Structure 1
Amino acid sequence: MTKRRPRRRPRLPWTLQRRLVLTVVGLLALVSITIGVVSVVILRASLLDRLDVQLASAADRSAAALGGGGDNDGDRLGDLPGSPYFGTPTADSILSGPAQPPGLLALVYDGSTITTGYTDDRSGAIEALTAQQVQLLADHVNQTAPVTLNLGGELGDYRVQAETSRSGTLYLVGLPLTGVAATAAQLAVIIGLVSLAGLVVVAVIAAWVVRLALRPLQRMTATATRVAQLPLDRGEVSLSERVPADDTDPRTEVGRVGAALNRMLDHVDRALEARQASERKVRQFVADASHELRTPLASIRGYSELTRRSGQELPPDAIHALGRIESESVRMTGLVEDLLLLARLDEGRELDMQPVDLTRVLVDAVSDAHAAGRDHVWNLELPEEPIEAIGDEPRLRQVIANLLANARVHTPAGTTVVIALAAEGNGVVITVTDDGPGIPEGLTATLFERFARGDSSRFRAANAAGAPSTGSTGLGLAIVAAVLAAHRGEVTVDSRPGQTTFRVSLPRA
């Protein structure tokens, strides 16, 4: 069984403000680290030079204590009878010498014997070295230049230097590096604390400065956001949003961006005005044409019906032709009425908004659908209590009638259609579900557009099953969407083979 890898949390986006602040702080941190390292290195080198001078002085005094080898050619302490340093030279002779610094380490080799020791800088007592430490010092007894050795234990690092007295005695003296290390460490800590405080202060100031510098971009973003929230795809839009004049100075980079954004908004505004004017002319033409066509269509229908009912004997072909003229005039009248309704909705005409009993509307609509489509199975699911919505009752009846007619026309005989009503929160939901062949995926996106047709799937399936073909203008679902939009509602569709559901949402009374 393979273990699932935990999903990585998405990284937070690196905003321009964060990048600028981190860049400034990072550069300052790099400079601070560089200054700190150079300062500590220089200080340590200076302290080592001073320690080497002290070590050379200690070596001269040690040579005098051993009986020669110092800078003074007068009496030597080791050559004076009665002196505590008279006789065989030892490490104690050096450590007990006058003016020797605390923590001094000594090793003396007289050709046959090695004596070692160091002065405890806290108690002043002479302490012995371990065998490992003596061996390490003996390996450097011929080293005439100062070197640094790590003796381990409590001694740590020592700066040592080997010399040879006039009497031929090899000796080595050393001074601890604890003072040098402590001073360098103290400087490093001070520089680190000061740098850290400086970084915090610089980060705060940089964040404030960058935020202040990016305010014009934030104002541009706010302008673009307000434009994006406008319904630019439909209706009359007044695009008055612009970047403030203070943020359009062409002498600055941000100002050039603001000026370019304003020019783009000007172009978009002119394009929207041109589109709106064109749409207004088209809507006016459709409304005028639909209005003017109603009279001749009514005349055609009336004359054909009058001729057919005149009682005169007409050939069968003439009777059939008159029937076709009458039926087509009826269909043409419905198309004209739909176009006129869409034109009025596009103009934004106010609807008669009143509380509507949706329960009664659905009962009447299903009853009409049952009469028109007896080859379908119609089921109605209603709640126990009546539900009301705010709307224009004739228009809402038309919405339900169009949805039921769509289910009847585009599904084969025997299809079951379920109409349900329910309350959800502050809204009302009506669903029309059928078990027909479904809607192709490519048609769903344009289903509610004007003159969109579903003949390629559901309608063909209905014809193949023997259902009557009444034709489709492609305006039924467009009227549904337009009416619901005027009611501040919406319609959606979810379709797959064997189940298609239209969902209508309306504000509840």
Structure 2
Amino acid sequence: MPGMPLPPSRWTLRAQLLASVLALLTVVMLATGALTVLETRRYLEAGLVTDLRGAAGRVDERRGLRDGDGEGDGDRRVAPERRGPIAAPGGGDVLVLGLTPAGAVATTASGVELNAVVNESGADDTLDAGQVAAVAAAATGTRPTRVEVGGDVGTYLTTTEVLPGGSRLVVGVSTEQVDELLAKLLAVVAGGTAIGLVLVGVGGTVLIRRSLAPLDRVAATARRVSALKLDSGQVALAERVPAQDADERTEVGQVGLALNTMLDNVESALHARQESETQVRQFVADASHELRTPLASIRGYAELTRRETDPVPETVTHAIGRVESEALRMQVLVEDLLLLARLDAGRPLERDRVDLSLLAVNAVSDAHAAAPDHAWELDLPEEPVEVSGDEARLHQVLANLLANARTHTPPGTRVVTRVRPEGPLVRLSVRDDGPGVPEALQPSVFERFTRGDDSRNRANGSTGLGLSIVAAVGQAHGGRVEVSSRPGDTTFSVLLPAT
């Protein structure tokens, strides 16, 4: 469907190479970045655990915690000698929170709540009730645990120590510096990967284009050869892959060398074909030329015999008539072959201004006289249509088209001869409503000695050269021929350059 991307199998070689390189680079860079980030995270978290243990060792408040809620047996308490801020090992913030068995904030022996976040400046912040509840819910074991305290306090790695009497002492170190460093590292890895892909994409495109330039030159040579007309005539196949692109030591050079070898073989075959065609054409021309004289003599003697005044047996008269008829038919065939041989040899035609409208009128008049049982019609424009060409040959083209319609259609068939300008061309067409040309015969209908099947109802003999002469004369005038046929609608057209 339009707009859908092409599948990889239909990508160009450049696109496939570039996509493969970019995919491989992406995998390598992402794997390297992931290993780097994971290893850095492991290292930083190990350092964070060490800082946490150092902070827990420095925070020795167990002696200052009241056992329970300050009531009960003995109301044991040991007053610390210090209430100042707790030093933060490693320069980061340290969280210290004492919790009673009931989950409330514990106090020291001097009545001060053990609820402090010691920052780098040594100032103490306190947690609100929601933050205390969050820490109390998450900090339940001695294993280091990440706790999202909430608010502007951030995330802490905490450890919990259970004291005699059920109280708990939670100590934590801030993970802010570690998280920021990992975030920056992730950004660097992602940015580096993106920049690397862009640089490799641009550089890879340039390098791949330069590396495949010889292949482009080989393809250009193949395209020039494919545009040459190789089906007939003298062919000069001078195209070759340049020597620098035909080095067998490289992959592209091997392709170029193979193409040059193939072109050498093709050129040899074309020369052989041309020599064979030339010999055949020369033979046909010579044979046709030599047969004209004896055929004329045969016809002359046959006519002379018919003019004999002495009685001639009826069987002899019939035989002489058949000899004359077949000699005439053979003479037409010889003339057609000689004309085709001359056209094949490239013999130039006359170039005069020819009025196709007048030519069509005369040809249709002749066809009407030859086959009055057909319905002959003309479709001509108001103004005369002229082309530059050989009037005799163009008349033969139109006569052959009309004879083809007369020969291969039953009586009563409507045949319309039409002349119409079409831009730089003039279309001369003959259309009939007869049975049509069999579909299997249409591709070869203009080839020599092509005849229709029995359903075409040929009333007279056919040499199979009429339409081939139409095609040859049309091409000699710089035009082309077309056929369109289905039962009840058959059109033969000749398109010629307008004057």
**Structure 2 length-normalised TM:** 0.89
Q: 2:461 matched to 1:471?
A: yes
Change (3 A) 1:316 1:10: farther
Q: Secondary structure at the match of 2:419?
A: strand
Mapping for residues 15-94 of structure 1, pairs under 5 Å:
15-64=12-61, 67=64, 83=81, 85=83
1:171-192 deviations in Å (ceiling 9; x for gaps) = 1122332322221111111222
User: Given the alignment, which residue of 86, 89, 100 partners 1:97?
Assistant: 86
C-alpha contact (below 8 Å) 1:237/1:272 kept by paired residues: yes
Deviation at 1:225, TM superposition (A): 1.0
User: Given the alignment, which residue of 128, 143, 146 partners 1:145?
Assistant: 143
1:230-271 deviations in Å (ceiling 9; x for gaps) = 222212212221111111111111111111111111111111
Select between 276-285 and 316-325 the one with higher mean Cα deviation: 316-325
C-alpha contact (below 8 Å) 1:120/1:126 kept by paired residues: yes
* Structure 2 residue identity aligned to 1:104: V
Q: Number of aligned pairs?
A: 476
The CA distance in 1 between the partners of 2:103 and 2:418, in whole Å, is 113
Deviation at 1:135, TM superposition (A): 5.1
* Structure 2 residue identity aligned to 1:309: R
1:293-316 deviations in Å (ceiling 9; x for gaps) = 000000000110111123332122
Change (3 A) 1:43 1:375: same
Q: 2:449 matched to 1:490?
A: no
Give the root-mean-square deviation of aligned CA atoms: 2.6
The CA distance in 1 between the partners of 2:57 and 2:5, in whole Å, is 70
C-alpha contact (below 8 Å) 1:407/1:434 kept by paired residues: yes
Mapping for residues 259-274 of structure 1, pairs under 5 Å:
259-274=257-272
C-alpha contact (below 8 Å) 2:87/2:118 kept by paired residues: no
* Structure 1 residue identity aligned to 2:41: R
Mapping for residues 311-460 of structure 1, pairs under 5 Å:
311-458=309-456, 460=457
C-alpha contact (below 8 Å) 2:481/2:493 kept by paired residues: yes
C-alpha contact (below 8 Å) 1:217/1:254 kept by paired residues: yes
Q: 2:492 matched to 1:505?
A: no
Q: Secondary structure at the match of 1:355?
A: strand
Which structure 2 residue ranges, 5 or more long, are not aligned? 66-76, 106-113
The CA distance in 2 between the partners of 1:433 and 1:382, in whole Å, is 13
Deviation at 1:139, TM superposition (A): 4.9
The CA distance in 2 between the partners of 1:398 and 1:10, in whole Å, is 56
Corresponding residue number in structure 1 for 2:71: none
The CA distance in 2 between the partners of 1:65 and 1:445, in whole Å, is 106
User: Given the alignment, which residue of 6, 21, 37 partners 1:11?
Assistant: 6
Corresponding residue number in structure 2 for 1:114: 104
1:389-419 deviations in Å (ceiling 9; x for gaps) = 1221111111111111000100000000011
Select between 181-190 and 426-435 the one with higher mean Cα deviation: 181-190
Change (3 A) 1:152 1:371: farther
Corresponding residue number in structure 2 for 1:73: none
Change (3 A) 1:151 1:493: farther
Q: Secondary structure at the match of 1:396?
A: helix
C-alpha contact (below 8 Å) 2:288/2:338 kept by paired residues: yes
C-alpha contact (below 8 Å) 1:357/1:388 kept by paired residues: yes
Corresponding residue number in structure 1 for 2:125: 126
Change (3 A) 1:340 1:153: farther
* Structure 2 residue identity aligned to 1:447: V
C-alpha contact (below 8 Å) 1:361/1:397 kept by paired residues: yes
1:325-351 deviations in Å (ceiling 9; x for gaps) = 111111111100000011111111111
The CA distance in 2 between the partners of 1:348 and 1:237, in whole Å, is 14
The CA distance in 2 between the partners of 1:152 and 1:327, in whole Å, is 118
Deviation at 1:121, TM superposition (A): 5.9
The CA distance in 2 between the partners of 1:33 and 1:225, in whole Å, is 43
The CA distance in 2 between the partners of 1:219 and 1:501, in whole Å, is 45
Which structure 1 residue ranges, 5 or more long, are not aligned? 1-5, 69-77, 86-92, 464-468
Select between 96-105 and 253-262 the one with higher mean Cα deviation: 96-105
The CA distance in 1 between the partners of 2:451 and 2:118, in whole Å, is 104
Q: Secondary structure at the match of 1:453?
A: coil
C-alpha contact (below 8 Å) 1:448/1:477 kept by paired residues: yes
* Structure 1 residue identity aligned to 2:127: A
Deviation at 1:450, TM superposition (A): 0.6
The CA distance in 2 between the partners of 1:174 and 1:335, in whole Å, is 114
* Structure 1 residue identity aligned to 2:96: A
Corresponding residue number in structure 1 for 2:110: none
